[in-house]
A and B are shown apart, each in its own frame.
Chain A
């Protein structure tokens, strides 16, 4: 439960969300990530630290460089959090659609 809260805190920030989108396609070094933002480098480092601490990002050592990549498990956790609620409405709306399709001829 604590982790979940942290994860949501982490994605509350627009820059951090942008970072997640960036590394979604490929793993990147801190420098390469920072190059995409006007924000000062230490600020980006701080964001990376937060994202890593709550396990949204994983660090991987490749030679002398540290690469950041998405942790699919945590991302899935965010998706799972909303999914039952989405599913509930999706089922209701599917039903609405089929109920109203049957209703159609009476129009």
Chain B
């Protein structure tokens, strides 16, 4: 079965929907979002804080191979219902992008498969489009500096 990540970015909208089906039971899919050591592995980031509960907060940090902090992200959980739903805010520190609102929905497809739907809402359409372009911009920079290694590590 094909398990590809799909992005739905309708023009003139300030939102984005990312969907993906996994060859994993929904419990494991959720666990990958709830356990700091697991998040660190697949997001290739350092988890400074992950309080998986309503009103809890989270903070991640990514560094380059020399240990210099590249990016720090944080937010607050508004909902954290195991195997069902996470609602959180997402903000990048020291980057002039406004905070975004994120809805994660975890669905059981079969006993061994599940689906994740991420609904991301941005302050404006322009901001959403800029976010979409970020990996693209990173790709351009890659040739010119050592970001390449970092991006490689991110993969």
Contact = CB atoms under 8 A, between A and B. Distances in A.
A53 B5 CA distance: 32
A78 to B, nearest CB: 9
Interface of B: 3-7, 9, 11-12, 18, 20, 22-24, 28-29, 31-32, 38, 41-44, 116, 129, 131-136, 138-139, 154-155
A100 B133 contact: no
Interface of A: 8-9, 11-12, 81-82, 84-93, 95-97, 99-101, 103-104, 107
Contact of B31 (A86, A90, A101, A103): A103
A101 B41 CA distance: 13
Given A89-B5, A90-B4, A100-B28, A11 B11 contact: yes
A94 to B, nearest CB: 9
28 contacts: A9-B11, A11-B11, A12-B12, A81-B133, A81-B136, A82-B7, A82-B132, A84-B136, A85-B132, A85-B136, A86-B5, A89-B5, A89-B7, A89-B20, A90-B4, A90-B20, A91-B155, A93-B5, A93-B42, A93-B116, A95-B41, A95-B42, A97-B22, A99-B38, A99-B42, A100-B29, A100-B31, A103-B31
B23 A97 contact: yes
Contacts of A91: 154-155
A106 to B, nearest CB: 10
Contacts, number: 75
A91 B151 CA distance: 11
A100 B32 contact: yes
